[in-house]
Structure 1
């Protein structure tokens, strides 16, 4: 059981671990909105170069008892600040996501803050609503991990 959760900036050495997390088929299915090919390391590295170079994006790794157990970020899309996170499936159910979101919300004070989640991802919905996000609607989007259009819930923290 993870006792301490902290955040820190992403370092080059973290990318190998994050790549492996994102290749987990079950985790990718839950996240739904992922890269087209989770095994394409070149595309993964290009994506991370782009987002790490964007001054409007805050990227951090999530540390559980000092080990990398996920990533969390805020970014601007179409004028809205959004958050996203990815948790290693090995630590699901240990409160890591909720604690990481709370820590990020201490750093990212922009409101309203937006989030989107696959509507059938009950665990992520709980994390966000416990953090104060409210569902404001749904949308249909293409989920690469499922190779289908699915419903996503749009949430806002005021």
Structure 2
């Protein structure tokens, strides 16, 4: 299996949109737009990320197929990382490998991440890469239609 990071291509966005439709994955992430099936909201969101000069966005590519995305954006005083891997690729070390590759490319620190407390896979990936918990926040999750606790982690 060949896992690489590459620039996001137009066709990748179609795959990312399909990935977002997976209710189980959205629940695990705790993140979803109010209406995940609205392509215009999706396109607006991704347009902002891709056109932001303070962001770095990569497609996680597995054997020539988009498997997810990983990105850093500027949030107030710190960069924040986010990642999404399609459910069919979970448990195969793909996100872990992609994270390692991304952290070699993007070396600005501190780097923060936010993860719903019961998303154990994402927490494990971050913690084994040296991210430490620096706080918690109660936020409303559209995907779960309830308030959830997010851990805020930071890599220094």
Q: TM-score range by the shorter chain?
A: over 0.9
SS in 1 for 2:36: coil
TM-score (norm 1): 0.96
- Determine if contact 1:18/1:70 at 8 Å carries over to the other structure: yes
Distance 2:12 2:95 in 1: 18
2:71 alignment partner in structure 1: 73
2:132 corresponds to 1:105: no
Distance 1:34 1:131 in 2: 25
2:86 corresponds to 1:88: yes
**Structure 2 alignment gaps of length 5 or more:** none
Displacement after TM superposition at 1:4 (Å): 2.0
2:12 corresponds to 1:7: no
Two-structure CA RMSD over aligned residues (Å): 0.8
2:150 alignment partner in structure 1: 152
2:129 alignment partner in structure 1: 131
**Structure 1 alignment gaps of length 5 or more:** none
Distance 1:60 1:53 in 2: 13
How many equivalent pairs are there? 156
SS in 1 for 2:42: helix
The runs of at least 4 aligned residues of structure 1 exceeding 4 Å deviation read none
Distance 2:48 2:30 in 1: 21
SS in 2 for 1:13: helix
SS in 1 for 2:10: coil
- Determine if contact 1:116/1:153 at 8 Å carries over to the other structure: yes
Deviations 1:123-143 (A, max 9, x none): 110010111111122111111
Distance 2:45 2:111 in 1: 23
